[in-house]
Amino acid sequence: MPNWVWAGYLAPLDGLDETLSRFLPTTVGTYNGKNYSVGCFDVALAMYARKSALEKDGIRIPTMEQPWTKDEFDAALKAIKASGDYQYPLEMQTGSTGEWWPYALPLLKSFGGDLINRSDYKSADGALNGPEALAWATWLQSLVTDGYMPAKSSADPQADFLNGKSALLWNGSWGSDVSRTKLGDDVLFLPSPDFGKGPKIGGAPGSGRSAPAARTWMAPLDYMKFAMQDKYVAKWASSAIPATDAAAAMVPGYEPGGVNEIFRQYSKEYAVIRPPTPGYTFIATTFAKAAQDIVNGADPKAALDQAVSDIDANQASNNYYQQ
């Protein structure tokens, strides 16, 4: 969205503040202090777990009030591996490509790092290669070297989890229904571990609507006011997380006390939006390459330093995407 604004394709959603205040923060696209897009739904990441595996190995079941700490999570992986019951304790879907890496690994943010400095979005120096980011990268690599997860997952990591090849699966809310069908009460959807700065997950609109840049845009804005009614948000959301409380009450499973309400709570409390800069697409691909290199054995510091160098050069060459 910021790239479209920078290119002159979108106009701000002036006059919709009251409407947008009802939506999950991650579903409202904001850039330079103005709103440009809104989504009807979101998804949320969670740590899928087999309850039987945790209980067998004496591992505490975490809650939102008391998520796993880094030490607890590492100890859980060690205990599951020692049991010998699973090919890998953890599946992080490392065979995925593209935006899975910057979207699904804001665990970096939980360590205290980030993809870019969010004060001015000009440089990644210190955010992506500082001590916190290096701690994240070193830990991520250790998951492979310690045998806790594969360097490259199979083509269907969720199937591996459901078929008993892994005890824990980092996955989105989109896989919850099939997991319940297969595992019943044995599947848990746990909060992301707290690696020091609180649990963090990716967040972004699942479906967005924006106002096109034009000489007059009252018609598009009137349409959006109409389309953003809760009954239409609920219909558009379908089986994803509805963007408003009232819409959630209309979607089976997401109503208060519903089986999927926990994902909406994760979205509200833990979600981190992608950096709202027109340079995000370059940042995303650069980070994905660095993370994949690290998982496959590259020196963490060298990989992060190179990513920072590449991102900073791109930002500077585009005049920091100034409008």
Per-residue exposure over 289-301, b if at least 16 CB sit within 10 Å of its own CB, e if not: bbbbbbbeebebe
Neighbour count for residue 62 (Cβ, 10 Å): 23
In the predicted structure, residue 216 carries a pLDDT above the cut 80? no
CB 10 within 8 A of CB 36: yes
Counting residues of the chain whose pLDDT is more than 90, the rounded percentage is: 87
Q: Which domains does the chain have, with CATH numbers?
A: 1-323 (3.40.190.10)
pLDDT value of position 221 = 85
Say what the pLDDT of residue 205 is. 63
Q: What are phi and psi of 58, to 5 degrees?
A: 65, 35
Report the distance separating Cα 176 and Cα 255, nearest Å.
16
Which residues does 302 contact at the CB level (< 8 Å), separation at least 6?
Answer: none
Please state, in angstroms and rounded to a whole number, the distance separating the CA atoms of residues 279 and 272. 17
Position 84 scores a pLDDT of: 97
Helix (H) or strand (E) holding 47: strand 45-50
pTM score, two decimals? 0.94
Convert the pLDDT of each residue in 39-48 to its tens digit. Answer: 999 999 999 9
What is the structure's pLDDT at 181? 97
Give which of 228, 230, 266 is closest to 28, Cα–Cα. 228
Rounded CA separation 304/127 (Å): 10
**Ranges 12-16, 109-113, 180-184: which has the least confidence:** 12-16
pLDDT at position 29:
93
